[in-house]
Amino acid sequence: MNRFMGMRLAALAGLAMVAGCQAVPAAGEAGAPVTAAITAPAEAEWATIKPGGETLCATGTPFRFHVRSGDPERVLFFLNGGGACWSGDLCDVATEPTPYTPFAEMDSNNPALLEGVFDEANPANPFAGWTQVFVPYCTGDSHLGGGDVTYTTSAGKDVTIHHRGKANVQAALDWLYANRAGADRIFVTGGSAGAIASPYYAGILADHYPQADVVQLADGAGGYRSPAIAGVLDAWGAFEGVPDWAEFAAVDRETATTEDFFRVTAARHPEMPMARFDNVDDAVQQDFLKLLGTAEPVRGLLAANNADLARDLPKMSAFGAPGDAHTALRFNRFYTEEAGGVKLADWVRALANGEAVASVSCQSDQSCD
């Protein structure tokens, strides 16, 4: 992974994902056992759960997740985003700007401060009244990490990062299993880094809830297409601790891509609707492509990835909106994004209700520019 160390970090200076960092608690802050049943919070209020156990954020600070009570049969499971790191220079929190969110307490990890699908008061919200599980992101590994890694910076400094994405998400899953055993509709989604992991966890949830209709949507990660991705996934331990599924055994880890998580889940659960949303000129994805050594415009890479998945997955659909914004579900633009005369909020509502949705793109009517 040392080939990435010298790449430009200046392109990340404007990322809002690292804004709002607050004071960080001591690493030894006590938490409830991971499998403890938690009393559901009052309706429309968020409860913060500190699971303890094997969970940790990247630098050793405590992990926490959030739950908002609602209909016990309908669940929104959201994986938050916030950059990524895969080398000493990128993972060192002394790097400015830091290209990932290393702490669960950052404002960007607080759903009470977010908009979009977390705005219960908006009458257009498809998920108003649903149980909502919000998984903060603080491990730099797109929620896929399998353990701790010691990197070395270009200055020779050792940096140990707790890539415990899987352990952290498992804590939220354990809460869900204990408290929403009868769920019959589960919408698995995530923004940015969380979008990358969303198809993987959709498969996990579909296995656990065979009675439920599970739907997946990735928000803002469709343009990553680079030969360097396999090495990043390996550095994170993304394929360590995965279920013993034949579908995973078929993945070539030397050439693995983030699209392989879609293929694995679709092969195991061919009935599952799977989808992704992207702005076709997403500036944040473009910046991370540069860090991966890829200078091609994100628009073309996104189109190529979507074409590959459309060919391989019969129930895959995509929504490509104009502009260079990054993700929509966490922001009020979720209600204003539109392409081909279709509003994103309406498209997602239909998807969440189990209706078939066609792919939509601003490229189909030349409205991207």
pLDDT single digits (tens) 221-267: 999 999 999 999 999 999 999 999 999 999 999 999 999 999 999 99
Is the pLDDT assigned to residue 27 strictly greater than 60?
no
Is the pLDDT assigned to residue 104 strictly greater than 80?
yes
Q: Confidence class of residue 363 from pLDDT cuts 50, 70 and 90? A: confident
Q: How far is CA 317 from the centre of its chain?
A: 18
Domain annotation for the chain: domains and CATH numbers = 2-10+48-365 (3.40.50)
Return the pLDDT at 364: 84
Q: How far is CA 262 from CA 134, 141, 179, 198, in A?
A: 21, 17, 27, 9
Is the pLDDT assigned to residue 7 strictly greater than 70?
no
DSSP 8-state symbol, 27: T
Q: Give the whole-angstrom CA distance, residue 187 versus residue 130.
A: 10
SS percent in the chain: helix, strand, coil, step 5: 30, 20, 50
Query: Is the CB of residue 76 less than 8 Å from the CB of residue 189?
Result: yes
Helices marked H in 209-276:
229-236, 246-249, 259-268
Is the pLDDT assigned to residue 311 strictly greater than 60?
yes
Question: First-to-last CA distance in the chain?
Answer: 36
Query: Is the CB of residue 287 less than 8 Å from the CB of residue 222?
Result: no
Q: Give the whole-angstrom CA distance, residue 88 versus residue 177.
A: 36
Return the pLDDT at 42: 44
Return the pLDDT at 6: 35
Side-chain half-sphere exposure of 129, counting CA atoms within 13 A: 7
Q: Give the whole-angstrom CA distance, residue 76 versus residue 316.
A: 19
Query: Average pLDDT, whole number, for the chain?
Result: 90
Is the pLDDT assigned to residue 94 strictly greater than 60?
yes
Q: Give the whole-angstrom CA distance, residue 173 versus residue 85.
A: 24
Q: Confidence class of residue 44 from pLDDT cuts 50, 70 and 90? A: low
Query: Is the CB of residue 28 less than 8 Å from the CB of residue 110?
Result: no
Element containing residue 216 per DSSP (H, E): strand 213-219
Side-chain half-sphere exposure of 323, counting CA atoms within 13 A: 15
Query: Is the CB of residue 159 less than 8 Å from the CB of residue 88?
Result: yes
Query: Is the CB of residue 259 less than 8 Å from the CB of residue 306?
Result: no
Element containing residue 193 per DSSP (H, E): helix 193-208
- The amino acid that residue 3 corresponds to is R
Kindly report the pTM of this predicted structure.
0.90
Q: Give the whole-angstrom CA distance, residue 185 versus residue 251.
A: 29
Return the pLDDT at 24: 33
What would the 3-class secondary structure string for 297-321 be?
CHHHHHHHHHHHHHHHCCCEEEEEE
Is residue 77 classed as helix, strand or coil in its secondary structure?
A: strand
Is the pLDDT assigned to residue 1 strictly greater than 80?
no
Query: Is the CB of residue 238 less than 8 Å from the CB of residue 141?
Result: yes
How big is the chain by its Cα radius of gyration, in Å?
19
Q: How far is CA 82 from the centre of its chain?
A: 9
Residue that the structure tokens 């913060």 belong to: 48
Query: Is the CB of residue 196 less than 8 Å from the CB of residue 258?
Result: yes
Q: What is the pLDDT of residues 49-65, one digit of tens each?
A: 999 999 999 999 999 99
Is the pLDDT assigned to residue 28 strictly greater than 60?
no
Is the pLDDT assigned to residue 136 strictly greater than 60?
yes
More confident residue, 10 or 362: 362
Is the pLDDT assigned to residue 20 strictly greater than 50?
no
**Among 21-25, 106-110, 294-298, where is mean pLDDT lowest?**
21-25
Q: Confidence class of residue 365 from pLDDT cuts 50, 70 and 90? A: confident
Q: What percent of the chain has pLDDT over 70?
A: 88
The mean pLDDT of 75-95, rounded to a whole number, is 97
Q: Give the whole-angstrom CA distance, residue 260 versus residue 240.
A: 15
Is the pLDDT assigned to residue 22 strictly greater than 80?
no
Query: Is the CB of residue 168 less than 8 Å from the CB of residue 34?
Result: no
Q: What is the pLDDT of residues 192-217, one digit of tens each?
A: 999 999 999 999 999 999 999 999 99
Q: Give the whole-angstrom CA distance, residue 155 versus residue 180.
A: 49
Query: Is the CB of residue 168 less than 8 Å from the CB of residue 141?
Result: no
